[in-house]
Amino acid sequence: MRIKKIAEQLINQYDTNDPYLLAEHLNIIIFEKGLHEEIMGFYKYNRRNKFIILNTNLNEQLKQFTAAHELSHAILHPRSNTPFLRKNTLYPVGKIEREANQLAVELLLPDQSIYEHKHTNMTINEIGGVYNIPDEVIHLKNFYDSDQTNIL
């Protein structure tokens, strides 16, 4: 629930859930670099400067999720240099990776976006796909209906 609140506060404060715009507001530099095909990106903290490095070879959907994931590290674990986010480690392998995945999901898929699809027959995985969230992490979304009951 703490992570969901952080996402809601960021979205409300900066009036966006776009990870690139949020990074800009938070003075986090994002750039792309050609990395090994298995490496999606990583976060680096150096002398009070925060950097997100994305693999230039990713498609735009994976770049957006990776940017949100690495931004989450910058927010939740600001002074930690994180290991590379690899394609085969979208399944959380530790607490900080799970937290970063969860915040990325909450940022990219605010509850309002789910409400917008309530009269469709779309599954949560299909809705997640619309917002560039990989199937492997969509289960981390906490969604509450108007009675504050978790319905996912």
Of 43-47, 64-68, 76-80, 145-149, the one with minimum mean pLDDT is 145-149
What are phi and psi for residue 50, nearest 5 degrees? -120, 135
Average pLDDT over the chain, rounded to an integer = 87
Looking at residue 88, its pLDDT comes to 54
- Put simply, whether the predicted model's pTM sits higher than 0.75 gets the answer yes
Say if CB 29 and CB 49 are below 8 A apart.
yes
**Structural domains in the chain plus CATH codes:** 2-140 (1.10.10.2910)
Listed as own residue / partner, the contacts of 35-40 with beta carbons closer than 8 Å and 24 or more positions apart are: 35/84, 37/87, 38/86, 38/87, 38/88, 39/84, 39/85, 39/86, 40/66, 40/69, 40/84, 40/85, 40/86, 40/87
Q: Provide, rounded to the nearest whole percent, the portion of the chain with pLDDT above 90.
A: 61
Whose tokens are 């976006």? That residue is 113
